[in-house]
Each structure stands twice: as structure tokens, then as C-alpha cells.
Structure 1
């Protein structure tokens, strides 16, 4: 694990975010021209962002893109020829594998802790309320300031971006898988944001009547109820109303808001979706065309 720290440690920076919601955290340089990954919650709302390298040099940082739905952000430092980390693949991780977490907890520069991969495929609620998929659970100790730092495998490749710990819990820490981080990072570098589809309503997950659920042959007795319709939005144009219950989209069963979020990717923007709903008129199949968010 010494090799892992030597390979990645110089590429892990200490981030100082100044402003109304400023704070400190960590970031991982992944390109020699100063691009780095960090957590969205570390830099959101900051008026000025800077980063300090392990050699003591400090640079101003520009926010290239921010995605609160996955708690990831991309910064770029002013300069070039920066040390940078090699990125691995979180898909190749195995439970029980040794990993190290590198960051700047409580302001202590370039701190490393070791642990194992405790579980894979976890989900974690982001600051935006969406579920982050394919999260890595580890027992490598994290503390405030570790957010945005690197989770590294034994070969010295970054396999995750450390993002959260469970308060009052022992050995429960989480990292966003690097495969997800790379995908989001590329989108942020290209567009400045991650495009997603929206249907133009606020909804909530509800329990269905047990007899009704059995009659509909649903595995779980839950669905999504519309609680507010945005005027002029896709759902409004399709004639759906407050109180209608969404059961499926394109014949894919919808049990929760999270199921709906997973389906509403950028790829379905502008595509006609067949939404199965239940309302006062019984079961209906309605065509809805999602829009891009913002």
C-alpha cells in the first residue's frame, strides 16, 4: 500500500472553498493540465476556490461543472504540469480487497488510511435527493475534509471518490465508484452539467392497497403519485393531474421516485414514453415526451 500512496498522494489536493457555504475538502488531479475531481458539496456555493498541493504550492481553481445529483464536481487549477493520478475501474473491485483512502481530514495534508472493500453496489442519497448508484462501502477511516479525496487500490489506481461517512457509526464509509465519476466528469467537461430528462411534476412514493397491488401483479405494493403538476410541462400537456398514480413507463414497473429517476436519463429527452397511470377513470396509457432539465 506504500506504492499506492506514493503513486496517488501528490495528486490529492487540499481544497479551500470560501463563501456563504464554503468549507474544506479534498480533490484528485486526473490530468497534467490541472483538471481535478471533488465532491459537489465541498464547492457548492463557494465564491472563491483554491487548492493546495502536497508540495505547498497553492492555486486558484475554476469550477468547470457541478452535479449535485451524484455529488461530483470538476475544477481546473491555473497552471500546468501538475502531478496526476491514474484512474482504475470500480467494476473490477472485489469485496475484501485492500484499499487506501487519501485526503486531508481536519486540515491534515495528505493523510492516508487503509481498509477493505466492505460491500459493493450500495446506493447513497445525494444532496440533491437522488440516489447515487454503485457506491463502494469501505472501512477505511474517513473524517471531515476527506470528502472528494481518492480511494486507491493496491496497484496505485484511483477506484473511487470518497464522499460520505455515517455519523456515530464505526467503519461505515462510502465512495462514488470511479466508473460513475469518470462518466459524470466527462459530461461536466463537455457541457458544464449533466443533462437529465424531466416530466414536469413533483411526486411521492406511496403504498397501494394490498388487494389492488395483487390484482395488478406488482412485486412491491408501491407506486408514484403526482402531488404537483408544473403548468405547461410534459405531464401537464399529456393531461395528467394531481393525484394520478404512475405505475409504469414503457412497460417498466415504477415502484418509487428513485425508479423514475433512473429511467429519466438524457437519452429519453424528446422521446415519446408510454406512461401507465391509475386515476378516477381507471387504468390509462398516456404518451408523455420528457424535456431536458434546464
Structure 2
């Protein structure tokens, strides 16, 4: 009996070892990726007379004592003004010294120093930057330098393993790994621009990693580490990288021209909610709703109108409004592409010749008479003061004076002060036009209402009572 027990225990042990070996064999192997690519990953040290934009910038007193020895400065804070240092990462894409990093790493820099893993150091020249994508191209004077390989397209999938190499907190050539947790994340900039469909990962990224490469298991660069979401200043498992398709587009232009021109339509857009989807005849919320179409813009010349919902652009389906700038921005200016829209509850396809927006350009669309009950909507409206029409570039509209409690307008979120310019597909330029548009509405129907709120155009889906 004892022999049987021992044999049973031995079998269980051997089975457990075999299972463990099989499990380990399925785990990704990163050592080859690190050995082959680390020599081409660089540490970037930026010096600026002002406040550096590099995300690895710290004053000595802000750094824990046990970490200070890893940084470029020593000792306490001088009493006199001194240049600030910032730290970031980058990677070499050509053996003659072209290096990709983040724009915010080198923005405002007086000098840029590049350090390789073999401790060689080079002064770098900034070839060009693109704040809209947060990418920059710099160059050092070298030959035969180690390089990385950029992946050809965005073939990443959620759940795929990825690896980052960089210098978080100045700790040179640190390696972290994780998985892709989401694709195509829209993170509008402070100027409300949204040209990058970010890769979201749970790879540990911290200040100093910015500008470093994100690798797939083939050892190819699939992204540039750019942002983290944090409440503490360190990684909490939400990191965002610029996808390689954007990198190819921007870097090629910076290398050839020193600046970036991206596709542009000249529209203001918003998401389609459930009420709006019903009112436009869509089976579900999707697409990008055109709230405003600028005069003499590529969109206007192609016949796009306010109230159109763009369902696909250049053959790519548009699920949310945030996806449209990602697609348009990668189209070369002057290219004619098909655009599928929903207008008057019917699908149509138009041809649009995409315009160009330079990196340094900004473009914004300009945006007491007797009251009227607005019956079915439940709003009190009046003529809009001429100075407001002029300020916001409107040719007409009625201003909401009061929203009746419990009304369709109240439930839709219409507010006093809003200027209504469109009800359904009927322009509203006067009280009479507003009254005619409202009178023509059917009970129980859903209707899109376009309005101007504090200078910003907006569509609201309004559901009428039965």
C-alpha cells in the first residue's frame, strides 16, 4: 500500500512539473527583444532656461533621497535661477542618427543631449516637431548607429503582449511589459484637437519613459509611449502610446519637410446619442454628426451640410465622432475620398477633396421681441440680440428665454440662453421660421435641434410627447 501511495505521489509530482513546464513555455520571452533593441533606445537629457516641458523634469528636493543618485544633478537647490533639466526617452530609426521622441520632451529646449546604452553621448539637433501628435524628430551626428524596426501598420489587437524600454525617473534602460488593453483611444488635447488614436496598455510607464518605444513580440516598434493617467504621479496601469501609423506619417513629413501637414475638412462634430440616432433614422448611435460646416472649406465644397452624419470616411467606418479626425488626419491633402453620410434619413455617398492643415495653423469655425411658446417643445423664445449673432457668426436664430419644467426641451437638456438655428431639417432664422418648424413636428417623433451655446455649436436629440 505504501508503494502505491509513493507511486501516486510521484505521478502527481511529475504531472505538476509537466504542467508547469507547459505553462511556462506559453509565456512570452522578452530577453531577445531587449538584447536586440536596447542599444537603439536612447536617454534624452534636455536643458531649458524656462520651464521645460519634458515629463521627467524634477527639482532635486522633489526626488526621494535614494533615487537622487540616478539623476543628472547633485546637491541642493541653488538660491539663484538656473537652467532646468528634463529627462525623456527616444529611439534611433536610421544608422545616420535620426531619433524619434515626444514633442513635449524637447519642446522649449535650449540644448538636447542624447545618451546611448554604451554611454556614448551626442548633442542633438531638433529637425521638426508636431505638437498635434506629440511627436518630434531629432538628429545626432553619427554613423553606423544601432536602429530599431518600425512595424508597417497598426496590426495590434487587444490582449496582445507588448514591451517598453525607457528611462523612468532617470533609471536608464528599464524594461516593462504588459498587454494592450484598448485600441483607438481618443484623448483630446488642451486645444480640443484629437488626431491620435492612442494605444492603451497596462505597461508600467512613468515620467521619463515618454518618447520611448513600445515593442510587439516580433521586436518591432508599434508605438511611442506618450502619456499616463495617474492620480499619484506614477503608473496605475493606464498608459497611452502613439500608434506606428501616425509615427510613419509624421516622421516621414518631418524628415522631408521639417513640418507636418495633415488632412482637414473644416467641420465641428459631435457624437450621436440614442435620441439623435432615432431622429436621423439610424439603427443605433454611431457616426460623426456635423454641427457646423465652415464656409469655403473642403467639407462645404463637397456638399456636406450641418446635420449630416458621417458613417464612413475613405472606406473606414466611423463609430464615434472622435474617430473621424484620426482617419481624416492621415489622408494626404488633395486626395479625393468617398464619404458615406446619412441625410434626411437616407444614405448618400459624396466625394470630398481633403484639405490641408499645417502644424502651426489653428482653425476655428465662427461660430426683445414678443415671446413664442414653442408649443410642442416647451420653450419660450425671442429674437437673438444682433451683437450675439455678429459675435458668433450667425445669420439668424431664436434665443431661448425659458425652458418649461417637464417639457420635451427640458428633458433634452436645452438651456436658457441657447440660440436655436435648426429644428429638424428646417433652418431657423426668425421667430416665424421657428414657429413654422415647430408646427410641422409630429407628436411622438424624434427631432434633432441645432443650437449655439456660449459660442459653441451643438446638436441635441429631442423626443416629443405622444
TM range (shorter): 0.7 to 0.9
> Per-residue CA shift, 1:91-146, capped at 9, x if unaligned?
45455444331101111221122x2323352324264621422x433322111010
Name which of 23, 31, 44 aligns with 1:2. 31
Indicate if the aligned counterparts of 1:206 and 1:225 stay in contact, CA closer than 8 A: no
Name which of 159, 166, 188 aligns with 2:229. 166
Name which of 223, 226, 240 aligns with 2:289. 223
Q: CA deviation at 1:277?
A: 9.5
What's 1:12 paired with? 41
Q: CA deviation at 1:149?
A: 0.8
What's 1:214 paired with? 279
TM-score, normalised on structure 1?
0.76
What's 1:49 paired with? 112
Distance 1:198 1:179, change over 3 A: closer
What's 1:72 paired with? 135
Indicate if the aligned counterparts of 1:277 and 1:286 stay in contact, CA closer than 8 A: no
Name which of 93, 117, 134 aligns with 2:179. 117
What's 2:11 paired with? none
The runs of 5 or more residues in structure 2 that have no matched partner are 1-29, 55-86, 359-466
Indicate if the aligned counterparts of 1:28 and 1:36 stay in contact, CA closer than 8 A: yes
What's 1:152 paired with? 215
What's 2:148 paired with? 85
The yes-or-no answer on 1:198 pairing with 2:264 is yes
Aligned length: 284
What's 1:256 paired with? 321
Which of the pair is proportionally richer in strand? 1
Distance of 1:101 and 1:211 partners within structure 2: 42
Indicate if the aligned counterparts of 2:43 and 2:116 stay in contact, CA closer than 8 A: yes
Report the structure number with the largest CA radius of gyration: 2
What's the secondary structure of 2:94's corresponding residue?
Answer: coil
Distance of 1:8 and 1:28 partners within structure 2: 9
The runs of 5 or more residues in structure 1 that have no matched partner are none
TM-score, normalised on structure 2?
0.51
Distance of 2:299 and 2:281 partners within structure 1: 23
Cα RMSD after superposing both structures: 3.8
Distance of 2:121 and 2:179 partners within structure 1: 33
Q: CA deviation at 1:147?
A: 0.7
Distance of 2:206 and 2:340 partners within structure 1: 44
Distance 1:195 1:209, change over 3 A: same
User: Using CA pairs below 8 Å that are at least 6 residues apart, which structure has the higher relative contact order?
Assistant: 1
> Per-residue CA shift, 1:167-205, capped at 9, x if unaligned?
13632223233344234322322232332233445x242
Indicate if the aligned counterparts of 1:59 and 1:77 stay in contact, CA closer than 8 A: yes
What's 2:196 paired with? 132
Q: CA deviation at 1:15?
A: 1.3
